[in-house]
Structure 1
Amino acid sequence: MAISIEQPELVDYNVENERQRSVEEFYQLNHINQTYDFVKRMREEYKKLNRVEMSIWECCELLNEVVDDSDPDLDEPQIKQLLQTAEAIRKDYPNEDWLHLTALIHDLGKVLLLPSFGGLPQWAVVRDTHPLGCAFDEYIVHHKYFKENLDYNNPSYNTKYGIYSQGCGLENVVMSWGHDEYMYLVAKENGTTLPQVVLFIVRYHSFYPLHKAGAYEHLMNKEDQENLKWLKIINKV
């Protein structure tokens, strides 16, 4: 009787090694270039909201032109991912319509990669975010590259609290620039009537050092603590 032997799945280590190199290069560029002054300049430039005017749905469709190198599902349309996330949230929380909308819009800021929105480099748009104006926490991925950041040796910025104070509230903290911060600015500067928790989720959903490792909790206030519970719901999907 012939015995069928199942062959193990082959792993292309060249592809995997290339991916790892790409990820590390991303964080190197991100950690070197994301300075307090850089973020302040970007906020001032993009809060003008003078680039494109469109509906939320038009922006969702535009996102299909975006290539996020950090996304493992590069072949899947971005809009499909948005809808799947929103639908999953709707099933679990049918009465929280604001949360469904949050799931739909939270990644729309990735349009920053497109020419009409400035065509910013990947390191200034996607992946993790972190505070500026205080010490870089060791839980931030590839922390070693911060040594080349201009803020690293700045005595005003390199202590635990830096320019902030205990419980000052995350709303008062300058975050690294990316799609989270941009979408937050768009909503805020347009005078959104959505609940404050929506802005919190949009702005901090990539703030992984906080919601995965508890870093920077000393800067949070009570409202932040409550909002964080909802943010973790979105990030589980």
Structure 2
Amino acid sequence: MTSITLLTGRAAPLPGSDQLSGIDKRPVTDALDLGPEGFAGDEQADRRVHGGPEKAVHHYPFDHYAAWRADLGTQPLLQAPGAFGENISTIGMTEANVAVGDIFRLGSALVQVSQGRQPCWKLTQRFGVPKLARMVQDTGRTGWYYRVLQAGRVAPGDRLELIDRLAPEWTLQRLWRALYVDRLNLGELQGIATLDVLAEGWRRYAVRRLDSGKVEDWSKRLEGNA
């Protein structure tokens, strides 16, 4: 079991921009209700690509912060959890040991890993570091999302208790490698296409690649308003 830092945020303009974002998450001190759309009081500005049942809760490992400090140098945002827009921060859980479909008890709620996190240009804008979103994607230090299987109440310091593993072989790291590195590996794509615990949107990537033999262009999402 791993104890959590719990964070939420309201939609607000990004630094140097009139674009709204809920990426600025701050630690909370009181228990919160967790429902199918996420934590009470938490907001996402662009619901086309953020939030929703398959992205109800964003988890980013604090384990990665040291690597980002080494890559980026002095960054005030990297001194405490919340820099990457996460709702949950932990130490000891990473993409290498968490798998799609893993079910956890969190407070009185049940959550399930639904997909990895796809970074977007708002990370770059928040940090003021060119190409940061692409760096997040290329390193595989992406974080992940949960769907909520059972609503409940969650407090800071509650523990993520692993209840079940439905596809332990499909770690988030393996999924990342198949979608972002070895991108036309037919065996991996066929596995992803039929991985029913994975969010449907991600399964569709695999189906399209199998049908077309081509990889989608994510440059607008990473570098512009997409």
Give the TM-score normalised by structure 2. Answer: 0.29
Larger fraction in helix: 1
Give the TM-score normalised by structure 1. Answer: 0.28
